[in-house]
Amino acid sequence: MRIVVVGAGGVGGVVGGLLARAGADVAFVARGAQLAALREHGLRVESALGTFHLDEVEVAEDPATLAPADAVLVAVKGWQVAELAPKLTPLLAPGGFAVPLENGVDAADALARALGGDRVAGGLCHMLAWVEAPGVVRQAGAILRVTMGERRGGSSPRLEALARVLREAGVEAAVSGDVEAAAWEKLAFIAAFGGVGAVTRAPVGVARKVPETRALLASAMEETVAVGSARGVRLGDEVVSRAMAIIDGLPPDATASMQRDIQAGRPSELMDQNGAVVRKGREAGVPVPVHAFLLAALLPQEEAARWAPAR
């Protein structure tokens, strides 16, 4: 199975690096400083599964210059997917398919609109990972999991084959019978973790210990579950308790990627996370006051990050 990882940041770099270490046929799509570093120095991965260096990696900026793949793992930021998706068509071999690993619940639909519904599966990941420096990616904590599922529901031979390759590389890979529900459950966790973290500027170890802030995390999760349920997503009664258990199991200094981006003045996934809950809540007639507050509080910084450099 040939695999192309689109986006060599934290998630893509760690997953792709582990696949390459295990001997899989892997290539990357990258850009900027990360592209230059991978070409010149290779890729260094620091993870719970070991620290290692890949001296040579196959990498390109233009997807069309790479040989087609059986599976394309899309690991860019959520807001980049719609623009990038049409450029991925040359990457898909006959029978090939794409799997999104973004936060949020819209990436698979954006890919399907560009590539065709049959060429896209649903997917998500649980992982704390980031670019430590150009050519260096780091993963923290014990969670390193990819969940996939066919968008129409259930498993398939192609997903089972990809899951086997991921497991051989050390990644916990699961094929879900309801990947839409899995994505919404992830959104309940990550939108609360990222939004509350970005507003408070506090790592999770601080936020979860302050009673008022802990309650804010739980309320944000409950709102997301209410919106998903109103839209017909089959979410069980334990979603919030499972998400809070993840919060309690994270390293005390952990922060979400959205929080790190906002604090660094970079464009973030605010609209794909808290913004998505607000938008979809409005469509479903479900009030989401916590997410509305988080969105309103963070929008000025988001807009500054996106537009100020161009002025």
**What mean pLDDT is reported for the chain?**
96
The CATH number of whichever domain residue 18 belongs to comes to: 3.40.50.720
In the predicted model, what is the mean pLDDT of residues 283-291?
98
Answer whether residue 45 is part of any domain: yes
Indicate whether 90 pLDDT > 60.
yes
193 in the same domain as 172:
no
Per-residue pLDDT of 16-41, as tens digits, reads: 999 999 999 999 999 999 999 999 99
> Do 136 and 199 lie in a common domain?
no
Q: 12 and 158, same structural domain?
A: yes
How many Cα atoms within 13 Å fall on the side-chain side of residue 83?
A: 5
Q: Indicate if 167 and 284 belong to the same structural domain.
A: no
Calculate mean pLDDT across residues 202-215: 98
Helix (H) or strand (E) holding 92: strand 92-100
Same domain, 162 and 300: no
Same domain flag for 79 and 52: yes
**Parallel, antiparallel or unpaired: strands 50-54 and 43-47:** antiparallel
pLDDT at 142 over 90: no
Report whether pLDDT(307) > 90.
Answer: no
Backbone angle region of 138, left / alpha / beta, with phi > 0 → left and psi within -120 to 50 → alpha: beta
pLDDT, one tens digit per residue, over 163-201 is: 999 999 999 999 999 999 999 999 999 999 999 999 999
| Whole-number percent of the chain with pLDDT over 70 | 99
Is residue 209, in this structure, part of any structural domain at all?
yes
Give the count of domains, the chain. Answer: 2
Query: Average pLDDT for residues 153-169, to the nearest whole number?
Result: 96
pLDDT mean over 200-208: 97
* Residues 124, 37 share a domain: yes
- Res. 311: pLDDT tops 50: no
- Same structural domain, 148 and 237: no
| Residues in contact with 194: Cβ distance below 8 Å, sequence separation at least 6, in sequence order | 103, 256, 257, 258, 259, 269, 273, 274
Instruction: Report yes or no on 311 lying in a domain.
Output: no
State how far the Cα of 71 lies from the Cα of 68, in Å rounded to an integer. 9
The first and second tokens of residue 26, run together, are 């892997």
Tell me if 16 is assigned to some domain.
yes
Q: What is the pLDDT of residues 226-237, one digit of tens each?
A: 999 999 999 989
Angle, CA of 184, 83 and 91, to the nearest 5°:
90
CATH number reported for the structural domain that contains residue 204 in this entry:
1.10.1040.10
147, 177, 207: which is the final residue of a domain?
Answer: 177
Residue 222 sits in the same domain as residue 301: yes
Kindly state the average pLDDT of the residues 285-306.
96
The boundaries of the domain holding residue 244 are 181-306
pLDDT of residue 310: 44
Domain termination site, one of 177, 194, 218: 177
DSSP-assigned letter for residue 78: G
Instruction: Select from 120, 148, 177 the last residue of a domain.
Output: 177
Question: What integer pLDDT is reported at residue 308 of this predicted model?
Answer: 62
Per the CB < 8 A criterion, the answer to whether 186 and 243 are in contact is no
Per the CB < 8 A criterion, the answer to whether 226 and 239 are in contact is no
**Do the bridges between strand 58-60 and strand 25-29 make them parallel or antiparallel, or are there none, so unpaired?**
parallel
Q: Residue 195 domain-assigned?
A: yes
51 forms beta bridges with: 46
Instruction: For residue 74, tell me if it sits in a domain.
Output: yes
Say whether both 138 and 199 belong to one domain: no
Task: Give domain status of residue 223, yes or no.
Answer: yes
- Convert 157-192 to b/e letters by CB count within 10 Å (16 or more is b): ebbeebbebbeebbbbbbbbebbbbbbbbbbbbbbb
My answer on whether 154 and 194 are in the same domain is no
CB 151, CB 178: distance < 8 Å? no
- Within a domain: 32: yes
How many of the other CB atoms lie within 10 Å of CB of 209? 11
Question: In this structure, are 228 and 132 located in the same domain?
Answer: no
Distance CA 286, CA 92 (A): 39
pLDDT at residue 141, rounded to an integer? 85
